[in-house]
A and B are shown apart, each in its own frame.
Chain A
Amino acid sequence: MTPAFLILALVTLVSAIAAMSLRRLVHCALCLALCLAGLAGLFLTLDAEFVGFAQILVYIGAVAILIVFAILLTRGDEPAAQGPPARSWFFGPLVAVVVFATLGLAINAWTADRSWAPKPDAVAKKAVAVKQLGAKLMNDYVLPLEVIALLLTAALIGAVIIAMHEREAKP
């Protein structure tokens, strides 16, 4: 394991835990942005430059800012009310631990069976260039690209219509 991977993994995990456990919503959103930045760094260590930079642009530049806007618009900055602990405080982490145990066992069994695991030296040294990615998007993946464009347009219009729905009903 390289030091870059260890540092990025530590940053990502700690900020993810913080984003899910801090009390104030704005702190959670900022920790989410840090976690997404760590993930972008992990993508860069995996030689996926375009995905790493798209992660920074889309997630940190748009989604995290959108979440901060939503937090401010819903005035959710006050700390959550100290209600009685719900049952989900016990069952949520329990389900998560069970899921992680299952995934960990599967990964462990997979690495134990080394017969078909790809060898590191067989991995291509060179990353796929952005030019190749663009050519693939315009040739092989042009239909999914158009579908995604349609989906993004529909989501944009739908988000605006949903968010401004009850404007006139309010005094």
Chain B
Amino acid sequence: MTPLSAYLLLSALLFSIGLAGALTRRNAILVLIGIELMLNAANLNFIAFWRFGPNPEAATGVMFAIFSIAIAAAEAAVGLALIIAIYRHFKTTDLDKIDSMKG
């Protein structure tokens, strides 16, 4: 049986990779991909803590992960719609070039 700390370390690594990507990359879509990676790392933590927790019958971790997946789907839809709207306006998705709030 894999210990809980292995899952937690994997989740921390995944979160750090997503954070590094979201802070470093200049394309808005890649920043969104980094945010998705961070959300998934949190989901892995929820599932791991539920599985190794004292009361798995309550299924709270699974419920939280399901709701988290639904919220991530809504976030991705709105985020990508925003990126497409910004692309229509600025003709680029480079975050360094999108620096004015007034069109």
Interface residues of A (CB under 8 A from B): 1-2, 5, 9, 12-13, 16-17, 19-21, 25, 28-29, 32, 35-36, 39, 42-43, 45-48, 50-51, 54-55, 58-59, 62-63, 66-67, 69-71, 73-74, 76, 80-81, 83, 86, 88-89, 91-93, 95-97, 99-100, 103-104, 107-108, 110-111, 117-118, 120, 122-124, 128, 132-133, 136-137, 141, 144, 148, 151-152, 155-156, 158-160, 162-163, 165-166, 170
Contacts and interface: CB of A to CB of B under 8 A. Distances in A.
Nearest to A42: B44
A159 B8 CA distance: 34
A63 B72 CA distance: 9
A48 B50 contact: yes
Contacts of A12: 10, 14
Contact of B33 (A19, A51, A162): A19
Contacts, number: 239
Contact of A128 (B5, B8, B57, B67): B57
B69 A5 contact: no
A48 B47 contact: yes
Chain A CB within 10 Å, residue with most, of B12, B32, B96 = B12
Contact of A95 (B23, B26, B62): B23
A168 to B, nearest CB: 12
Contacts of B21: 19-21, 92
Contacts of A39: 40, 43-44
